[in-house]
Structure 1
Amino acid sequence: MPADRPSEEQNGEGARKSSPAPANEAKSETPEEREKRRAARRRKRAIKRWARGLGIAVVLLAAAAMLGVALTIRHYESDLPSTAELKSYRPPQVTRVMARDGQVVLGELFVERRTIVDVESLPAHVRHAALAAEDASFYEHQGLDYPGMLRALYKNLRNAKARQGASTITQQVVKNVLLTSARTFDRKMKEVILARRIEQELTKNEILGLYLNHIYFGHGRYGIEEACRYYFGKSIRDASLAQAALLAGIVKGPSIYSPRVSLERAKKRREYVLGQMLAKGFATAEEVEAARAEEVNLAPAQEEMRELAPEVVEEAKRTLRALVGQDADRGGYTITTTIDPTLQSKARGAVRASLDGYLKRHKLVAPLAPGKKEPPAFEGAPKTSGHRVYAGVVTGHDDAAGLLFVRIGSLAGAVDLRGKSRYNPKDLRPSQFAKVGKVLRVSLVDPKEAAAHAADPRQGPETHDEPVPEPTPKEKAQPAGLRLELGPQSSLVAIDVATREIVALVGGYEGVRGGLDRSLSRRQPGSTFKPFVYAYGLHTRRLTPATLLETNPLALSGYQPNNYDESEGKSPARLREALAHSVNVAAVWSIKELGPANVMAFAQELGITSKLGPDLSLALGAYEVTPREMAAAYATFAAGGEYKKPRLIMRITGPNGVDIPLASEPDPARVLSEEEAFLVNSLLRTVVERGTATRAKAIDRWIAGKTGTSNASKDAWFVGYSMDIACAVWTGFDDAAPLGAGETGAVASLPAFVEFMREAHAGKPKRAPTEPAGIEHKLIDPETGLLAYEGQESALDEVFLKDTAPDAGVDAAPDGEADAETGEAEDTLPVIPVPIPTGEEYHPTEL
């Protein structure tokens, strides 16, 4: 081989760059060693080429990933909700209806039971408890907890399913306020994007406020303020560290960690939160130890539907909607009413006691057995609209479920007797309450659903006490819900005479939300309307308290009602006594003389807004009015003759703390002079002293008023007043069924008036009307109504408006004869032609 020829190594691989090996080393290298060295060099070069390719691939993949992320973000950003609305976000809140003192809550209105609080006004330990429970690094991250997300990803992959999340408080706000709770990749991507975005647009406190006011705490309570009120009966601003920690722990799982569900689990969760607060430096060891030692004292659970004044709550709801429209649904309003909570409670108790007395008089308290004079059971298909009462027959019982089965014609229904203490004060089982075959008055709880429960009319009566064959599919359906209508209902309205504010309002026995408010129901007032007739006669100077009135129905033409005592002319004729003893013919004769149209207009001035008719039956209360109208009209008498529209809503404050302007009210109007009102008060006082309302003397103070009973005793009234409160009480069946023999206003309604007014005036000074200057006293002959002769032993003291007392004196001539001194005939009222009522005549039984 020539000396200048390259070696194999040089030919194939190129000259070495390193120093040549020593001659003795080169000589000692074996062929195998040289081959290994060459293979190592080849591997190194291959690795370098692979690394360069991998680097290029990684760069390309990273670029592709970045491009993919950018495109993905742009894709999801295209339909993301705006975060700007969070600045003015208004979640649904509770609207509270308050009593006049601003302290007692009459009721709450809400879609979601929530009350917004300013997070910066909360104690530090409340905020820290929430952070310790949910997101301790909230004030440090920018909306996303990346280490936490990686830990959650690792644990979820290890468990092969999603067991752990890594949502920050910011992400939870996004999920709960802007998005849904759906567990999808799309929702999670949107949540991540929005979390970063709102961190840039809102402050940390704003985000924390959204969280604390929005989250759910169980039992229908949203937001930390409502949760604290529900669990501890106080505002969150007054919560202790232990209470704040317990509340913060509930959020993880309200159905698990609620102390009303499991106090043990709630306390364990509280322990965890307190430990986190200590570990994160949110509380000192001493504070945590004190919180751990604090007992969990829960507030008493509230009855959701039983309220002090549900009728008032419903009216407040209607008023709010009329003022603010659909914004009422968002809530957050405070409605202050005129209701006195103490008087409201007394009013409800008085009404219930009176109605319970009716049940005892008519033996309608269980146990009930079939009677000989029961009405026939209803036949056919019941109507599925409106409030209707039917005579149903008892077909069976289910003592375990507390159900009394009743059939109404073709409809099978059931009454749930649990909690029905009005008719079942001894809490008897259904099988003890009423025997099979007993006919009971019932109504449909939900008439719209009644059609779905119609029974097959071809089948006989059900007897659930006995084994029955396998039911058909139609029988398997749940029976229609029924309620008992055994006894009448009642309404009481009480008005403060000085302010004309409604201080108590009862619309029925039950007192539940959604019930019928009978203070707005129109019913015939009977003889409680008579004072309007006589007041107008005094106002026009055509009648005086001593005027003799016609009492014989035969003296009337066309319309001839009977007197309650049916004495045909022997009833008291002098106006004061005719009103006290409620003589029908006297009232009709008077309105005929005065003009029905005139009396109708006068009643409207007193506040009667219901439709009236200008005919003779008006005097006997043939036209329907509401208890509120009657209470307002009588309050005018008590207030010295000035009418002022009663009010129930004092103030409405919006969610922003600004008052909502209320609808303007008409100015007060003088209907009677003070002297005329004094005379009316005097006349109505006689009704109590020796007329149809003597039971009212039990109140032991100055009381005036009038009883009233409509045809067949379908409506029983007492409307009366002191110098402080005017009160109207109505009693009757919703379907206008007769109350029964002996049930008059004095029996069915006056007791509730007496009970309420006695309680309402307890401890208050006694007051009576002050006699105005324009009143004069005269001695009269009780038989003639004329001035008494000197020394007449039977003479009575009577009050008159100035210059309206009769002229006749000691030489008064007999009836119809000329006066000895003047030669003039005795004054009589001119007869005014009036239309005679047509159609069914109105003949009250007691007025």
Structure 2
Amino acid sequence: MIKYILGIITIIGLAIASWLVYLYLNLRFDIDKIVNYKPPLTTQFFDKNGELVANIFDKENRLYVDYDDIPPRVIEALLAIEDTQFFEHGGVNLDAISRALIKDIKAGKLVEGASTLTQQLVKTILLTREKKLIRKIKEALLSIRVEQVLTKEQILERYFNQVYFGHGYFGIRTAALGYFKKELYQLSLKEIAILVGLPKAPSFYDPTRNLKFSLARANQVIDRLKTLGWINQSEYQEATDSVPTIYNQTLTKNKAPYIVDYAFKELRKNIPNIKEEGYVINLTIDLKAQEIARKALNLSYNNIIKRDQYFRSLAFKGLNVYPMSLIEEQEAFTKTLNGGLITIENSTGKILSLVGGVNYRESSFNRVIQSQRQPGSSVKPFIYQQALDLGYSPASLIADISRTYEFDDEETKKANTENPDTNETDVQTTDTQAADGTEDDTSKKRWQPKNYEEDYKGLITLREALVHSRNLATINLVNDIGIDVIYKGLESYGLKNIPFDLSITLGSFGVSPIEFSQAYSMFSNNGIQVKPYIVSSITNRYKQTVNFEPEEKFITSPEQVYLMTTILEDVVKKGTGRMANVDGIEIAGKTGTSNNNVDAWFCGYSPTLQTIIWFGNDDNKPMRKSETGGRAAGPAFAYFYKNYLKLHPEIKRNFTQPDNVKTTTLNGEKEYYTETSKLPLNKTRLLEKNQVQF
């Protein structure tokens, strides 16, 4: 009988052993996820000074830490509370299992586990958390296999990076930065104790929700360290008494959402898995400059709103020039008002600040990148630069007189003129009539552009025409040069979708602020266009780095562009851009206001930076006639540069005049010329410097 029973036991034992061997052989390949550990990692964006801009991730917010960067005290604290014999066992702690088994038998159910750190890692990555015998057997077998393949250090590294620490934080480095805003090496003993105590019940012990229980759990860790003799009495008392500062932060920590959205969309074109690969992305932006830009945009936005409210109050008092009915109908003056701002480095195209709207929470639409708005007179410098490159000089004379143009295609000749800042025009079209007063069968249209003041100055200098944004002079200049030449020139500057007619002189086409920023860089960067870019380098999880360099395009020579800079300086000093002037630094720029004050621009630059600012209604409804480029956008520009100077007082303040740019005095004013752009032989002008009359 005994032999029979022993035989049965032997058969059962062999069957169990065979089953375990079979199970082990089938499970050993399942540890690949642990051996070749590649968890989803959070991608981080940093500004040019190394300050965190944002985190982006898919499902798990995890910042990886190598074993060598984990402080010994962190490892000791974890082992003290979770697996004191970690470096002695082979994946399964038989003593702990025996103790737990006795407690389970007494309770009649599974009440205590005896999982080693290796088992916890296996359970977290490969198995479920359910308390079933088959799962515990698989967990033990897999743990033994993992210990045969990986070193103890490799297992710990995987554990510290895999485990959930509550509040959306995966991995201990993520939790340290999230809860305490510290790297691991900066943590106090109490902070370490809080962290290693979290994996047992991460939601319950989350210090942002249950600080009392979190501290109690941390004190258990500290008691255990003291019991093991791993800390002394002084360390024990100090850690027990301390209460660290806990931060309840958002997971993304996004400080510049318009920028992050733009950078992410650009990178995703070539990196589809960007949210899971743990890239470190260094941006070109300066977060301090970004904050100044945000305040600048909001300053002008609020001023536009205040002016609108003021005019409305006058209307209610019967003092407004607008009829009350018109005020009520045109509630849209500021109903969808918004703006955009972009600042780049002149010499590189690196984007220092980019604000796509006044309030990201209300609208994530990035007006700097996604909008297409009419530039109005801010396009004129490109036309006048062509004139300079063709031999005109700032002192060349242009006819500021009226002309009437007839044409057949109304849509082709539709000119969206503007009312910039002090001097823009209105375009009118009329049908050609027959002698008897009826409409002519040819249905020809008449375009008769005019200056804002409805005056004509006759012959004026090229400088004066641009400084005061004279439309008629500009149109006559284009006629003199040839519209085909101007059209090709604008295309060569990168401007797109421009009409082949005289309306291009008044900016009747769409352009985004970032596209305009690239075009304008030919002026700010001495004749060489640079493409604005926002990513300076990308480093992957394997520490491999790709750096990005400026993209350049030669347009014209530095001396020819310098002539334009001197004219645009006068725009700011005494023309339509006076509200953009900043004391202590030279500024050049141009205003622009499209037809009916739909768009208001200021495009300007200093010796080192260039800024494009736009305001308008998102639904393309007109703003008030008072909202011109100079008044709406100019103050935002001035605010940005005044405050940027406080931040960087060391920046260059004056434009550098090229050696081959010559100067003279003409009618009491300094004038500039080059070998290409020579002064005109005009008998009515006197070169006072040499007292010679031509």
Output the aligned Cα RMSD.
Answer: 3.1
Q: What's the CA shift for 1:210?
A: 0.8
Could you say which residue in structure 2 is the equivalent of 1:629?
515
Aligned CA distance change for structure 1 residues 170 and 514 (closer, same or farther; 3 Å): farther
User: Which residue of 651, 665, 673 maps to 2:537?
Assistant: 651
1:800 maps to a residue whose letter is Y
Q: What's the CA shift for 1:100?
A: 0.6
Q: What's the CA shift for 1:218?
A: 1.1
**In 2, Cα distance between equivalents of 1:573 and 1:306:** 56
After superposition, give the CA deviation of every residue in 1:98-120 in whole Å (9 maximum; x if it has no partner): 11112x11111112211111123
Could you say which residue in structure 1 is the equivalent of 2:456?
569
User: Which residue of 311, 332, 349 maps to 2:295?
Assistant: 349
Instruction: State whether residues 125 and 282 of structure 1, in contact with CA within 8 Å, keep that contact through their aligned partners in structure 2.
Output: no
1:320 aligns with 2:229: no
**In 2, Cα distance between equivalents of 1:517 and 1:195:** 51
Q: What's the CA shift for 1:147?
A: 3.4
Looking at CA atoms only, which structure, 1 or 2, has the larger radius of gyration?
1
Instruction: State whether residues 348 and 550 of structure 2, in contact with CA within 8 Å, keep that contact through their aligned partners in structure 1.
Output: no
**In 2, Cα distance between equivalents of 1:254 and 1:156:** 24
**In 2, Cα distance between equivalents of 1:524 and 1:765:** 32
Could you say which residue in structure 2 is the equivalent of 1:808?
682
User: Which residue of 338, 346, 362 maps to 1:489?
Assistant: 338
Q: What's the CA shift for 1:561?
A: 5.7
Could you say which residue in structure 2 is the equivalent of 1:177?
125
1:128 maps to a residue whose letter is E
Greater relative CO (CA pairs within 8 A, separation 6+) = 2
Q: What's the CA shift for 1:366?
A: 14
Could you say which residue in structure 1 is the equivalent of 2:136?
188
After superposition, give the CA deviation of every residue in 1:656-710 in whole Å (9 maximum; x if it has no partner): 1110365x764x3331212211110111111112211111234443111111011
1:546 aligns with 2:420: no
Instruction: State whether residues 82 and 117 of structure 2, in contact with CA within 8 Å, keep that contact through their aligned partners in structure 1.
Output: yes
Counterparts of 1:437-456 in structure 2 under 5 Å? Answer: none
Q: What's the CA shift for 1:728?
A: 0.5
1:109 maps to a residue whose letter is I
**In 1, Cα distance between equivalents of 2:621 and 2:290:** 28
Q: What's the CA shift for 1:566?
A: 4.5
Aligned CA distance change for structure 1 residues 692 and 289 (closer, same or farther; 3 Å): same
> TM (normalized to structure 2)?
0.84
After superposition, give the CA deviation of every residue in 1:232-288 in whole Å (9 maximum; x if it has no partner): 111112222222111111221122212211221111111111112222343334432
**In 2, Cα distance between equivalents of 1:320 and 1:364:** 45
User: Which residue of 583, 589, 600 maps to 2:476?
Assistant: 589
1:801 maps to a residue whose letter is T
Aligned CA distance change for structure 1 residues 645 and 161 (closer, same or farther; 3 Å): same
User: Which residue of 596, 599, 611 maps to 1:727?
Assistant: 611
**In 2, Cα distance between equivalents of 1:185 and 1:597:** 84
1:129 maps to a residue whose letter is A
**In 2, Cα distance between equivalents of 1:795 and 1:239:** 70
Of residues 214-223 and 736-745 in structure 1, the stretch that sits farther from structure 2 once superposed is 736-745
User: Which residue of 39, 54, 58 maps to 1:107?
Assistant: 54
Could you say which residue in structure 1 is the equivalent of 2:620?
736
After superposition, give the CA deviation of every residue in 1:737-776 in whole Å (9 maximum; x if it has no partner): 2222311111211111110011112334663333334334
After superposition, give the CA deviation of every residue in 1:777-825 in whole Å (9 maximum; x if it has no partner): 4555xxxxxxxxxxxxx6654322236221233699xxxxxxxx99xxx
User: Which residue of 505, 508, 517 maps to 2:354?
Assistant: 505
Could you say which residue in structure 2 is the equivalent of 1:536?
386
Instruction: State whether residues 309 and 511 of structure 1, in contact with CA within 8 Å, keep that contact through their aligned partners in structure 2.
Output: no
Instruction: State whether residues 98 and 335 of structure 1, in contact with CA within 8 Å, keep that contact through their aligned partners in structure 2.
Output: yes
Q: What's the CA shift for 1:79?
A: 6.1
User: Which residue of 626, 631, 649 maps to 1:747?
Assistant: 631
Instruction: State whether residues 608 and 652 of structure 2, in contact with CA within 8 Å, keep that contact through their aligned partners in structure 1.
Output: no
Instruction: State whether residues 332 and 621 of structure 2, in contact with CA within 8 Å, keep that contact through their aligned partners in structure 1.
Output: no
Q: What's the CA shift for 1:323?
A: 3.7
Instruction: State whether residues 347 and 530 of structure 2, in contact with CA within 8 Å, keep that contact through their aligned partners in structure 1.
Output: no
> TM (normalized to structure 1)?
0.70
Aligned CA distance change for structure 1 residues 306 and 625 (closer, same or farther; 3 Å): farther
Of residues 70-79 and 354-363 in structure 1, the stretch that sits farther from structure 2 once superposed is 70-79
Instruction: State whether residues 336 and 650 of structure 1, in contact with CA within 8 Å, keep that contact through their aligned partners in structure 2.
Output: yes
The DSSP-based 3-state class of the residue aligned with 1:363 is helix
Instruction: State whether residues 607 and 645 of structure 1, in contact with CA within 8 Å, keep that contact through their aligned partners in structure 2.
Output: no
**In 2, Cα distance between equivalents of 1:766 and 1:251:** 54
Aligned CA distance change for structure 1 residues 353 and 184 (closer, same or farther; 3 Å): farther
**In 2, Cα distance between equivalents of 1:280 and 1:779:** 89
Instruction: State whether residues 179 and 249 of structure 2, in contact with CA within 8 Å, keep that contact through their aligned partners in structure 1.
Output: no
Could you say which residue in structure 2 is the equivalent of 1:695?
579
**In 2, Cα distance between equivalents of 1:561 and 1:646:** 38
Counterparts of 1:156-555 in structure 2 under 5 Å? Answer: 156-298=104-246, 300-303=247-250, 307-326=254-273, 328-363=274-309, 486-511=335-360, 515-520=364-369, 521-541=371-391, 543-555=392-404
**In 2, Cα distance between equivalents of 1:89 and 1:613:** 58
**In 2, Cα distance between equivalents of 1:255 and 1:811:** 84
1:641 aligns with 2:527: yes
1:809 maps to a residue whose letter is K
Of all paired residues, the percent bearing the same amino acid is: 31
User: Which residue of 576, 589, 602 maps to 2:489?
Assistant: 602
**In 2, Cα distance between equivalents of 1:564 and 1:516:** 35
After superposition, give the CA deviation of every residue in 1:183-227 in whole Å (9 maximum; x if it has no partner): 444433322221111111111111111111111111111101011
2:264 maps to a residue whose letter is K
Aligned CA distance change for structure 1 residues 661 and 701 (closer, same or farther; 3 Å): closer
The DSSP-based 3-state class of the residue aligned with 1:82 is helix
1:691 maps to a residue whose letter is G
1:121 aligns with 2:69: yes
Instruction: State whether residues 307 and 512 of structure 1, in contact with CA within 8 Å, keep that contact through their aligned partners in structure 2.
Output: no
**In 2, Cα distance between equivalents of 1:341 and 1:124:** 35
2:672 maps to a residue whose letter is V
Of residues 158-167 and 495-504 in structure 1, the stretch that sits farther from structure 2 once superposed is 158-167
2:259 maps to a residue whose letter is V
Could you say which residue in structure 1 is the equivalent of 2:644?
760
**In 1, Cα distance between equivalents of 2:615 and 2:122:** 56
Could you say which residue in structure 1 is the equivalent of 2:441?
none
Could you say which residue in structure 1 is the equivalent of 2:439?
none
Aligned CA distance change for structure 1 residues 158 and 611 (closer, same or farther; 3 Å): farther
Could you say which residue in structure 2 is the equivalent of 1:152?
100
Which stretches in structure 2 are left out of the alignment for 5+ residues? Answer: 317-323, 408-412, 414-446, 687-692
User: Which residue of 696, 704, 719 maps to 2:588?
Assistant: 704
The DSSP-based 3-state class of the residue aligned with 1:550 is strand
The DSSP-based 3-state class of the residue aligned with 2:538 is strand
**In 1, Cα distance between equivalents of 2:362 and 2:258:** 7
The DSSP-based 3-state class of the residue aligned with 2:682 is coil
**In 2, Cα distance between equivalents of 1:87 and 1:286:** 41
Instruction: State whether residues 364 and 487 of structure 1, in contact with CA within 8 Å, keep that contact through their aligned partners in structure 2.
Output: no
Aligned CA distance change for structure 1 residues 566 and 305 (closer, same or farther; 3 Å): farther
Could you say which residue in structure 2 is the equivalent of 1:673?
557
**In 1, Cα distance between equivalents of 2:540 and 2:255:** 23
Aligned CA distance change for structure 1 residues 765 and 123 (closer, same or farther; 3 Å): closer
1:775 aligns with 2:674: no
Of residues 151-160 and 623-632 in structure 1, the stretch that sits farther from structure 2 once superposed is 151-160
Aligned CA distance change for structure 1 residues 810 and 260 (closer, same or farther; 3 Å): closer
Which stretches in structure 1 are left out of the alignment for 5+ residues? Answer: 1-52, 377-390, 392-438, 442-484, 781-793, 813-820, 823-847
**In 2, Cα distance between equivalents of 1:186 and 1:486:** 65
